[in-house]
Structure 1
């Protein structure tokens, strides 16, 4: 698939894809006979994973560490798992904080609906 196809299917802009390649988050793609980037389905899956990491606020520097480890091969699986465990714990902590905020909002809304304005 060409960069426009990858962009359409991933939701990223072509500029973002090029940026990810430039900084090392994505491996450089093969080029077709005309020199245009040519991506496989594995790239689409990788980009989807990267976006989940971004959506959960993993810093770019940590995504870069993960990408570099991935590029080194399966022997880095323990290091990648450790990186993901650390990130998962931060996500869980954030979810707890968000839930506490949501609970407070619910209580305030219920108070207003009962006419208790404070």
Structure 2
């Protein structure tokens, strides 16, 4: 199935301006119809879902651009794409460790104050 930019924006939950920005940044390359209007496909919707998840995972636009470029080159770039994903995973795990430390600190403080409350 194919979609106009307006239909596609609604389908993927992004603004038309965001889709144009993604195109300008070489993250997505929609087909063009005979009137030179953008035409999006279900495959484009799947790719937008991947981009959105990579962004939510904290990947930079620069790294997503590199990932998109490697993806377009085909299976010979799987090792490089894997390296990008593993690097982002490492950053997320470090962030999780940092958050776990903050949570432990807060839990300790909360317990301290609860203990003080029970002494009253």
- Per the normalisation by structure 2, the TM-score is 0.83
Query: Aligned Cα RMSD in Å?
Result: 1.8
Q: Which stretches of structure 1, 4 residues or more, deviate above 6 A after TM superposition? A: none
d(CA) in 1 for partners of 2:106 and 2:90? 24
SS in 2 for 1:15: helix
SS in 1 for 2:49: helix
- How far is 1:58 from its partner? 1.0
- Per the normalisation by structure 1, the TM-score is 0.84
d(CA) in 1 for partners of 2:36 and 2:57? 35
d(CA) in 2 for partners of 1:8 and 1:108? 46
d(CA) in 1 for partners of 2:46 and 2:36? 23
Give 1:12's aligned residue: 14
* Structure 2 gaps, min length 5: none
d(CA) in 2 for partners of 1:63 and 1:103? 33
- How far is 1:35 from its partner? 2.9
- How far is 1:68 from its partner? 0.8
- How far is 1:64 from its partner? 1.0
SS in 2 for 1:57: coil
* Structure 1 gaps, min length 5: none
In the TM superposition, 1:1-118 aligns within 5 A as 1-27=3-29, 29-115=30-116
SS in 2 for 1:39: strand
Relative to structure 1, the CA distance from residue 105 to residue 7 in structure 2 (aligned partners, 3 Å threshold; closer, same or farther) is farther
Paired residues, what number?
A: 115
